[in-house]
Amino acid sequence: MAENKKPKKREYAAFSLKDNLKEIGTTFATGDWKTKLSFLIMGFGPLMRGQIVKGLLFLFCEIAFIAYMIGFGAKYMVKLPTLGTVETQKIGRKTVYGDNSFLILLFGILTVIVVAAFILVWRMNVRENLIEETALKKGKALPSNKKFLASLLDENFDKTLLALPCLGIFVFTVLPIIFMICVAFTNYDKNHQSPTNLFTWVGLQNFRELFSFGSSGFGGTFVTVLIWTLIWAFLATFIDYFLGLAVAMLINKKGIKLKKLWRTILVLTIAVPQFVSLLYIMKMFGNDGIVNGYLMKWGWISSPIPFWTNPTLAKVMIIVINIWVGIPYMMLIATGLLMNIPEDLYESARIDGANPFQMFVKITLPYMLFVTGPFLLTQFTGNLNNFNVIYLLTQGRPQSMKLVGNAGYTDLLVTWLYKMTVTETNYRMAAVIGIMVFIVTAVISLIVYNMLPSVRDEEGFQ
Amino acid sequence: MKKGLISLVMAGVLTAGLLAGCAGGAAPAAAPADAAPAAEAAAPAEGGSGSGEIKIWVADNVVDFTTKRAAQFMEEYPQYAGYKVTVEPVGEGDAAGNMITDVEAGADIYAFAQDQIARLVSAGALEEMNPDLLDAVTTENDPGSVAAATVGGKVYAYPLTSDNGYFLYYDKSVVTDPSDLDKILADCEAAGKNFYMEINSGWYQTAFFFGTGCTLTYDTDDAGNFTACNVDYASDKGVIAMKEMIKVKASPAFQNGSAAGEATNLAAIVDGTWDAGTVKELFGDNYACAKLPSFVGDDGNTYQLSGFGGFKLLGVKPQTDENKLEACDHLAGYLAGEASQQLRYEEVGWGPSNLKAQKSDAVQADEALSALADQLQYDIPQGQYPGEYWSLATGLGDDIIQGNLNPDSSDDDIMKALQTFQDTCISYAK
Amino acid sequence: MKEKKTASMSRKRAISNFFAYILLVIISIIWLFPFFGLIMQSFRSYLSEYGGMVNYIIPKNFSLDNYRFLFSGETNFVRWYTNTVVIALAVAVLQTLIVLCVSYALSRMRFRGRTFLMRFWLVLGMFPGFLTMICMYFLLKQFGLTQAGAVPGLILVYIASCGMGYYVCKGYFDTIPKALDEAARIDGATRAQIFVQMIIPLSKPIVIYTALVAFLAPWCDYIFASYVAFGNDKSYNVAVAMTRWVWTNDYQGYFTRFCAGGIMVAVPVTILFMCLQKYYVEGVTGGAVKG
């Protein structure tokens, strides 16, 4: 791939902590007074050397950081080790809330990250001084402010484009995930609910609870739910894949007319919001729904079929209804791809006397599997966390005494996690389960990823 | 790679800036402890005046009624007119869940079913009753409802209704004898119609267990924590109850459910007064109500079905402003008072817990409420149960519905299931 | 000889096509049946017939009662609908912009930390979204974007992390020859100019695909939207408000009303989808191959 990626200049690149410290030291020792003052007042050097924009940016960072720490961050960070000690009190009939462990944890984490980021910015500030001084010593002119700003639309355009998305992802994805990982090590549950009650660090206790296999321990339930999650993801992915492929080939068949109509009928499933269609289907198969209603009216059955209350039947129903949901996607994808298979492959196979089935196994399937390998992986991980189908159809029910923590036989880890959060407000166990979901997804992805030759070389695709 | 962190770092710094910027606005809200002195300073010494917003959560069908009554309250008590009342439709189940998730953002006054009270107290979502109102509330309402509003010796909520119990609705043209469960099932089978009872609910299930004389109660401490469990399900009495449930389930007429609005082909249903209107519409002239039936147990004795007598309560959440708390207390007291209960019965049919309202002619003449009153004699006032109990009971019921426990199960199997149930119940009290 | 063979082949094909048609008709019936039922139930009157479950599909009397109910002001249905439309439109526009920016940067530019960023986002994507729900709720609450402010709050949450969903769009950009960029750069165009004036116009299908997918998602959020609205009826979207009609016992006999509301939601969304189906197919197929 042609890419104007010259070998990176390594002269300022220092990777180890030791090198970093050494460079900071020498910058200070050899630098002029402007550089030396920059160690305290960030951006001072660049400002004095005419690099107004960069200088102001550094200065702004420092001021913002100090304001943040004094006005907000510091008081949360100091309480991070205990997550608060001041209890809620009653003064007369008035309630005076004490420390809010939740906010202490959340903003404590944020502050730690902000401090780390500030140190990095400070480091950049030091290096900027070094770069400028070296350039000036060599007699080179520093780039003008205008040029620096213009570069944000040209060679530094990536920074402009990515700044906002990265900020959003940091605040609404990274920070919450770090927070919830920390919650897994606390006792934050319904008995330790902010702001009335405090919660605190408990180490690995929640993980021990997840793997305890007593009568009320989470172990047995976790294993049951995990196994069903894996079975579900496997069946949902592959049944839909092959049936979708079959339907696509059926519609693509030579001589079939109204291709567009058939496709449009199927695609309706994608267009109609799932909460409408799936809730209707759930009601349709209920004990009092029309399916049982008609079957009984026609005298085929005497009592309703327990579609949702029998665990095995409920699982089968979910998989079957997921076919209804999943086939159209696969059909759309397969339709496009099937047309890409060179026709002469089939032609020569036909001359060799291959029957349609042989052609499917020898040509179509290998091609499709090769091309859609990554898609299958994303489908699989998507199905591991397929909340809508399960929750709209059964909400994880039916339950049993054999399962703890409000789990049901059709619960996936992710729906269980949801119930744990919303119905039980057992955040600590929800966090532990969330981490488990991550581990399962990551392990499976890693294994499959390494088995797929086509994904590894990203540039090879282009 | 390390060098490449720059973009992330920049993002981080921007965040810092942003949050520092917003910190000014967020900090007071984030730290109510700091804000408290300010509120104190602003508080006038006497009179219960003040201003602000009072948010009320009630079920959708009483939103209009509650709004109207709140407006009347403001007219009658102009000293609280500084408060603006908003009423939102949040069902009793959602209200409790939301209050526990975030007390601060929750409603100031909210209705809930009394089984939630222990959870709400331990999450700090309920304020103790105003001592000025305590006497009136405890004497004017029926004792069961006051007991239901009490946790650890303290009254936490205002009884709203005394109708959270269940009894039998039936179709006169189908069911000939509503006092015998076996006959009801036989009549339904013969007519090809359905008998509904939600046996996988911890609430309806107790009809059988309490009916044969089993007990299941929890002791709570002042903070709403469960300290002990008194249970004897794993006994001969429990086995008789279980066997009857299995027998009922085996009937082709049986349907698991308690929502009349979702029932098909209905001939009889164990349900509460809130469905009276729906059932009346369904049955028309054949509409009838009765106390729950009795059944002949495996041992040949006859048992009358029992159950929970339950109550809806109105709670006030803890406030950081004493004036507002006072206003909330009085408003809640008003909304749960005799006049409101009487009117609420007339408008939406909720059975009052207020003794005087219960004695009114209209209430006395109500078929559903009098059936409930008959049944309540056999019922156990519903105490406090941990949240896990309800899902455990659903599990037990589901085991019957799924056929894990069926007419072929031996007494030992049933006993084993009950033993697990009992042990798990006990494990919830720590 | 040869003619005979083609004749037998075409007969064979005719027979197999006959079965194919039968199969297709059966499939179509299965796929359409729920929608047929939904439409029929929505015309069953709450007042003159029954609003709950019945054991027949075709209502005895067709009536528009349920639709009248939705728009009668007895509920905030119109408000919920408006909320959802506002959210969906805002998300469609903003998410498309962000995804385009991220995709361009990742596809066209080579900068330090690029691979790291992509891997990091991939790993982040493996955490289940519901895990962070409670934390997001309290974050939004700090900004005052819950309850009454739920609509802007939801828009913010939906678009905040959408940069991570760049795969399909980047895959499309990757197929645009880089020689075009190089030529433009030699002519003195900046990166920003190339992006706005060249790449975006070339990417119409993917822009429409991204916007369409972004537009559809908010219609089905009944989980997080319910958290953020936190009991504030006026801030609900249609999904939150209407799932209550099915799940909560307070709303018995609302089933036909749910069906009517469902039709009100499904029809416009479906029409839009059908009009843009071509682009959707292109996006989905491209995305599948790129992974």
A95 vs B318, B395, B417: nearest CB: B318
Longest CA span, chain A? 98
Q: What is the mean pLDDT of residues B1-25?
A: 42
Residues B262 and B403 in one domain: yes
Residues C280 and C249 in one domain: yes
How would you classify the pairing of strands B216-220 and B157-165? unpaired
B88 vs C138, C143, C233: nearest CB: C233
CATH of the domain at C250: 1.10.3720.10
Residue with tokens 């991204």: C210
Residues C81 and C114 in one domain: yes
Residues C45 and C92 in one domain: no
Query: Distance between CA atoms of B322 and B41, rounded to whole angstroms?
Result: 12
Q: Answer whether residue B7 is part of any domain.
A: no
Distance from CA of C157 to the nearest CA of A (A): 7
The single-letter DSSP state of residue A412 is -
Lowest mean pLDDT across A406-420, B226-240, B310-324, C39-53 = C39-53
A134: nearest Cα among A13, A30, A19, A44: A30
CA B342 to chain centre: 20
Assign A3 a pLDDT band (cuts: 50, 70, 90).
Answer: very low
User: Count of B–C CB contacts within 8 Å?
Assistant: 91
Q: In this model, does residue B236 exceed pLDDT 70?
A: yes
Interfacial C residues in 41-70 facing A (CB < 8 Å): 41, 53-57
Evaluate whether B114 touches B310 at the Cβ level (below 8 Å). yes
Which residues make Cβ contacts (< 8 Å) with residue C121, sequence separation at least 6?
A169, C163, C164
Residue from C87, C96, C130 whose CB has the most chain A CBs within 10 Å, to mutate: C130
Residues B335 and B228 in one domain: no
B26 vs C54, C142, C255: nearest CB: C142
Comparing B223 with A79, the larger pLDDT belongs to A79
Full residue range of the structural domain in which residue C192 is found = 74-290
Assign B156 a pLDDT band (cuts: 50, 70, 90).
Answer: very high
Query: Distance between CA atoms of A32 and B383, rounded to whole angstroms?
Result: 78
Residues B174 and B301 in one domain: yes
Residue from A161, A179, A257, A333 whose CB has the most chain C CBs within 10 Å, to mutate: A161
ipTM score of the complex? 0.90
Interfacial A residues in 303-332 facing C (CB < 8 Å): 324, 328-329, 332
Determine whether B2 is exposed, middle or buried from the number of CB atoms within 10 Å of its CB (0-12, 13-18, 19+): middle
Lowest mean pLDDT across A216-220, C143-147, C170-174, C268-272 = A216-220
Residues C60 and C140 in one domain: no
- Using DSSP, state whether B54 is helix, strand or coil: strand
Taking CA atoms, A244 is separated from A267, A381, C8, C91, in Å, by 12, 18, 30, 31
Contacts of C124 in chain B (CB under 8 A): none
Domain boundary, last residue among C27, C43, C67: C67
Distance from CA of A425 to the nearest CA of B (A): 7
Q: In this model, does residue B47 exceed pLDDT 60?
A: no
Query: Distance between CA atoms of A438 and A94, rounded to whole angstroms?
Result: 44
Q: Do B4 and C244 touch (CB under 8 A)?
A: no
pLDDT in the model for residue B38: 36
CATH of the domain at B284: 3.40.190.10
pLDDT tens-place string over residues B256-299: 888 887 777 889 999 988 788 888 888 888 999 999 999 998 88
What are the residue ranges of CATH 1.10.3720.10 in chain A? 219-461
Contacts of range A308-313, beta carbons closer than 8 Å, 24 or more positions apart: A308/A282, A308/A393, A308/A394, A308/A397, A308/A398, A309/A397, A309/A398, A309/B200, A309/B256, A309/B398, A309/B401, A309/B402, A310/A398, A310/B401, A310/B402, A310/B403, A311/A398, A311/A400, A311/A409, A311/A410, A311/B402
Q: Do C138 and A106 touch (CB under 8 A)?
A: yes
Q: If you measure CA to CA, which chain B residue comes closest to A214?
A: B424
Residues B279 and B400 in one domain: yes
Full residue range of the structural domain in which residue B280 is found = 167-306+386-427
Residues B315 and B302 in one domain: no
Evaluate whether C74 touches C245 at the Cβ level (below 8 Å). no
The single-letter DSSP state of residue C198 is I
Evaluate whether B374 touches B300 at the Cβ level (below 8 Å). no
pLDDT in the model for residue A154: 82
pLDDT in the model for residue B22: 41
Q: If you measure CA to CA, which chain B residue comes closest to C146?
A: B105
Residues C87 and C166 in one domain: yes
Give the CA dihedral A423, A428, A434, A436, nearest 10 degrees. Answer: -130
> Mean pLDDT for chain B?
83
Q: In this model, does residue C135 exceed pLDDT 80?
A: yes
Domain boundary, last residue among B338, B369, B400: B369
Question: Which top CATH class is A219-461?
Answer: mainly alpha
Residues C204 and C178 in one domain: yes
Assign A347 a pLDDT band (cuts: 50, 70, 90).
Answer: confident
Q: How many domains does chain B have?
A: 2
Assign A216 a pLDDT band (cuts: 50, 70, 90).
Answer: low
Q: How many helices (DSSP H) and strands (DSSP E) are in chain A?
A: 22, 2
pLDDT tens-place string over residues B104-118: 889 999 999 888 888
Q: What is the mean pLDDT of residues A180-198?
A: 90
A9: left (phi > 0), else alpha (psi -120 to 50), else beta?
beta
pLDDT tens-place string over residues B189-206: 998 888 999 998 888 999
Residues B317 and B402 in one domain: no
Residues C244 and C134 in one domain: yes
- Using DSSP, state whether C28 is helix, strand or coil: helix
Assign C290 a pLDDT band (cuts: 50, 70, 90).
Answer: low
Residues C157 and C260 in one domain: yes
Residues B177 and B301 in one domain: yes
Residues B186 and B292 in one domain: yes
DSSP annotation string for A111-161? HHHHHHHHHHHHHHHHHHHHHHHHHHHTTPPPPPHHHHHHHTTTTTHHHHH
Q: How many domains does chain C have?
A: 2
Assign B378 a pLDDT band (cuts: 50, 70, 90).
Answer: confident
B259 vs C115, C138, C252: nearest CB: C252
pLDDT in the model for residue C6: 66
Assign C32 a pLDDT band (cuts: 50, 70, 90).
Answer: very high
Interfacial C residues in 215-254 facing B (CB < 8 Å): 230-233, 244, 248-254
Q: Does C171 touch chain B (CB under 8 A)?
A: no
Comparing A346 with A441, the larger pLDDT belongs to A441
Residues C27 and C158 in one domain: no
Contacts of A397 in chain B (CB under 8 A): 394, 398
Q: Answer whether residue B37 is part of any domain.
A: no
Residue ranges of alpha helices (H) inside C143-254 are 150-160, 167-175, 178-186, 191-193, 200-202, 204-216, 224-229, 238-247
Evaluate whether B158 touches B149 at the Cβ level (below 8 Å). yes
